[in-house]
Amino acid sequence: MSTSYTVGSLYAGVGGICMGFKNNGFILSWANEFDKNACKTYRNNFKHQLIEGDVMELDISTLDEIDVLTAGFPCQPFSVAGYRQGFDDKRGNHFFKILDFVDEMRPKVLFLENVKNLVGHDKGRTFKIIKELIEKRNYTFDAKVLNTKDYGNVPHNRERIFIIAFDKNMDSSFFENFEFNFPEKEELTQTIQDVITNEKVNDRYYYGEDKYMYPMLKETIRRDDTVYQFRRQYVRENKSNVCPTLTANMGTGGHNVPLIKTPYGFRKLTPRECFNFQGFDDSYKLPDIAISHLYKQAGNSVSVPVISRLSKCILEVLNSVEKKTVDDLLETI
């Protein structure tokens, strides 16, 4: 089918989700992000409308309606008792703001991303209400935890949960007993050496003998095919030959700093390498801002290849619905 579907992105970050949908021909209509530095990186790579500011203050009526609404949203607990009894405990909760978009725009697809622990958050109450409220709006509901190293062919141990929901009103018969087919696992062929640069980088990234932790690094970091983590008081080796989960605070000092052994000495990953471990290619442009912001952005991002595979599966469903609609119409002629 030749239909192009539009995407609106909430909590867009630096555009990892947007890039994954763009890779499969979706048209990016608009995006929203609160962090001013993430917005600088986003604008460096996308030309469509970016609304910088608090999602809670967005006037939904001013935005173009879209086919796909995406959101890598913050996870917050709900007051189950208050919710069940009809009390107004929705104010300030990001998931309920997402539902406002759903109610007003009625997108064909809702695409949500979160940490894998969302399922157990607040003893399971949060996930239960999310599922209940999405299904109540006559949407399908499918969720699965995917690891970047298994679904993105990038050597990065990063587990995230993805929730995919389709509007049943598109075709009630099509979505009767529907189950979304998540992508299959694929063989990991890329190695750490494929992602990091073999060249000497800026001296600022190296830990020389003048650093207090150098003896610890020299004693612990033995292999050049592994990404280690400096955890303030010790160095942790990742023995699975993939990069450990990159975190938002890895650029703020001595916690979760990803380290490697090179011919030029011990050093931390550069921001570009961290973006590479999230599946951004070299055409993705990093702005001239403090590297601490770039580390945070890479740690907060999603893995682009995983989103690309998911968006391809979503596209197949949308095209199948459209084809069925056309076929049904032709039968009536």
Fold designation for 192-300: DNA Methylase; Chain A, domain 2 (3.90.120)
Q: Model pTM?
A: 0.93
What's the pLDDT score for residue 332? 74
Q: Look up 75 and say whether it is catalytic.
A: yes
Check residue 207 and give left, alpha or beta (phi > 0: left; psi -120 to 50: alpha).
Answer: beta
pLDDT value, residue 74: 82
- Look up tokens 């405990």; give the residue: 89
Terminal Cα distance for the chain, rounded: 21
The CATH number that domain 6-184+304-332 falls under is: 3.40.50.150
* C-alpha to C-alpha distance for 235 and 252, rounded to whole angstroms: 16
Q: Which of 18, 39, 75, 313 is catalytic?
A: 75
Q: How far, in Å, CA of 18 to CA of 176, rounded?
A: 29
Domain boundaries, the chain: 6-184+304-332, 192-300
Q: What percent of the chain has pLDDT over 90?
A: 76
Taking 70 as the pLDDT cut, the residues of the chain under it are 1-2, 76-92, 253-254, 333
Can you give the pLDDT at residue 60?
Answer: 97
